[in-house]
Amino acid sequence: MPNKKIILSGMRPTGKLHLGHWTGALENWVALQNEGGYSNYHLIADYHAITTDLDTSRIHEHSLEMVLDWLAAGIDPEHSPVFRQSQIKEHTELHLVFSMLITTARLERNPTLKEQVRDLELGPISYGYLGYPVLQAADILLYKGEIVPVGEDQLSHVEITREIARDFNRQYGQVFPEPAARLTQFARLPGLDGKKMSKSLNNAILLSDSPDDVKKKMKKAVTDPLKIRKGDPGRPDICLVFTYHKKFNSAEEQEIRRGCESGELGCVDCKMRAAERINTFLDPFRERRKKYEGHPERLEEILKSGEERARSIARQTMSDVHKAMKIG
Ligand code: TRP
């Protein structure tokens, strides 16, 4: 393989994924994979999941659900190994080395941490949680990742990864690339209530929703509060349903805009047209999903083989690290 660029990205196993995960990151994973010229690696950040929730009883189940969504979305595990962070012990080793290369003050300044502490009302946080970006740096650099397709909330973590790579290289010699984040165009997709799409807010369209689920959910979507009945002029730019049209129905975007603004198009019709487009978009996901449904052992096998491939790269990198550090 002549110098394929390395793509590394992952997600915490929070269970079933929604359209926001697709537009925020997954879309880029699949696009880069299919473009050719890249080697993709995708990890399930199961250790990261424990930073905010010590209950591990559903992590396994959530990991399988998430892998299933990745495969349904078009990740090809032959081309792009998928694996769990916890099954490759080099993640924790590299995390330890990196933890010496960054100050606690730098980690306390991390804006994503501050935001989460506020939003999740976390109170005092653990040592491990403060080090969240250090583990993420290990995830990326263990595979010498060069491009990290993520949502914009992860930019601060990629920046910390770059700093750690630079500091390691300066101290011990060139081992790591300085990875760059790759954002999607449509970073934040609103949920059905207009807030950020999130499963815990109950405002999400899941990648695994049936056509009927999508229609039912869409019926409840919030629209322009000043457009009460058909005939009233609406304001598409403040309507989340219009955002869905822009993303999933761009061919009709202008027509929908005119219909909404003139009042000719009622909200119920508009929502059903969006639901139809989203269903057309999700149909290939549904088709690919069938192969695995009711077969958790197929997913387990895919993980096992992804983990073997990832592990051999991780070992090589740790050997480079030890050599550069002249220990062992
Ligand atoms: N922090 C990422 C998130 O919350 C998940 C993650 C863990 C990750 N390790 C990674 C993303 C490495 C990209 C690269 O979604």
| CA angle (303 as vertex; 79, 158 as ends), nearest 5 | 70
For residue 52, what pLDDT band results from cuts at 50, 70 and 90?
confident
Ligand 1 centroid – CA 285 distance (Å): 23
Flag whether 201 is in a domain: no
In a domain, residue 200? The reply is no
* Cβ 48 under 6 angstroms from ligand 1: yes
Q: In the prediction, which pLDDT does 207 show?
A: 98
Burial of 137 (0-12, 13-18, 19+ CB in 10 A): buried
- Does the structure show a pLDDT above 70 at 64? yes
Of the pLDDT bands very low, low, confident and very high (cuts 50, 70, 90), residue 121 is confident
Which pLDDT does position 277 carry in this prediction? 98
136 CA → ligand 1 middle, Å? 6
- Reported as a pLDDT band with limits 50, 70 and 90, residue 118 is confident
Residues 155 and 10 in one domain: yes
**pLDDT (mean) for 7-11:** 98
The total number of structural domains in the chain stands at 2
Whether 315 maps to a domain, the answer reads yes
Phi, psi of 241 (to 5 degrees): -65, -35
Q: What confidence score (pLDDT) does residue 116 get?
A: 84
Average pLDDT over residues 219-226: 94
Show the domain range for 46. 5-189+296-325
**305 and 276 share one domain:** no
CA of 314 to the centre of ligand 1 (A): 17
Q: Is there a single domain that holds both residue 177 and residue 321?
A: yes
Chain-wide mean pLDDT for the chain? 95
pLDDT digits (tens, 9 = 90+) for 254-308: 999 999 999 999 999 999 999 999 999 999 999 999 999 889 999 999 999 999 9
In the predicted model, what is the mean pLDDT of residues 203-229?
96
DSSP code for 121: T
Would you say 160 and 110 are in contact if contact means Cβ atoms under 8 Å apart? yes
Domain-located, residue 80? yes
Ligand 1 within 6 A of CB of 11: yes
Q: What confidence category does residue 162 fall into, taking pLDDT thresholds of 50, 70 and 90?
A: very high
Same-domain pairing of 145 and 72: yes
Three-state secondary structure readout of 195-252: CECCHHHCCCCECCCCHHHHHHHHHCCCCCCCCCCCCCCCCHHHCHHHHHHHHHCHHH
Looking at ligand 1, which residue's alpha carbon is closest to its atom 13?
Answer: 9
282 lines ligand 1 (CB under 6 A): no
Q: How far is the CA of 141 from the centre of ligand 1 (A)?
A: 12
Q: How many CB atoms lie within 10 A of CB 190?
A: 18
Clarify whether residues 71 and 165 are in a common domain.
yes
As a whole number of angstroms, the distance between CA 20 and CA 3 comes to 32
Q: Does residue 61 sit in the same domain as residue 168? A: yes
Work out the percent of the chain whose per-residue pLDDT is above 70: 99
For residue 11, the model assigns a pLDDT of 98
Which of 27-31, 54-58, 71-75, 226-230 comes out lowest in average pLDDT? Answer: 226-230
Looking at the fold, whether 253 and 146 belong to one and the same domain comes out as no
Q: Which of 139, 147, 158 to mutate to test the pocket of ligand 1 (most atoms within 8 A of CB)?
A: 139
Same domain, 272 and 303: no
Assess if residue 182 is contained within a domain: yes
Question: Residue 260 falls within a domain, yes or no?
Answer: yes
Residue 84 lies in a domain: yes
- pLDDT band of residue 315 (cuts 50, 70, 90) is very high
Q: Are residues 105 and 230 in the same domain?
A: no
CA distance 79 to 172: 33
Please write the tens of the pLDDT for every residue from 178-208.
999 999 877 689 999 999 999 889 999 999 9
Give yes or no: residues 26 and 166 share one domain: yes
Is residue 324 helix, strand or coil? helix
Residue 148: CATH number of its domain: 3.40.50.620
34 and 148 part of one domain? yes
3 state SS of 7: strand
Structure-token match 């058909």, residue found = 230
Average pLDDT for 47-58: 94
User: Do 304 and 275 lie in a common domain?
Assistant: no
Res. 1: pLDDT tops 60: no
Is the model's pLDDT at 75 over the cut of 90? yes
Say if 203 falls within a structural domain: no
Q: How many CB atoms lie within 10 A of CB 130?
A: 16
pLDDT tier, 106 (very low <50, low <70, confident <90, very high otherwise): very high
pLDDT for residue 115:
87
Task: Tell whether ligand 1 has an atom less than 6 A from the beta carbon of residue 266.
Answer: no
Q: Cα(54) to centroid of ligand 1, in Å?
A: 18
Greatest CA span in the chain, whole angstroms? 76
Cβ of 150 less than 6 Å from ligand 1: yes
* Claim: this prediction has a pTM higher than 0.85: yes
Which CATH number fits the domain that encloses residue 274? Answer: 1.10.240.10
Q: How confident is the model at residue 2 (pLDDT cuts 50, 70, 90)?
A: low
In this structure, the residue with its CA closest to atom 9 of ligand 1 is 136
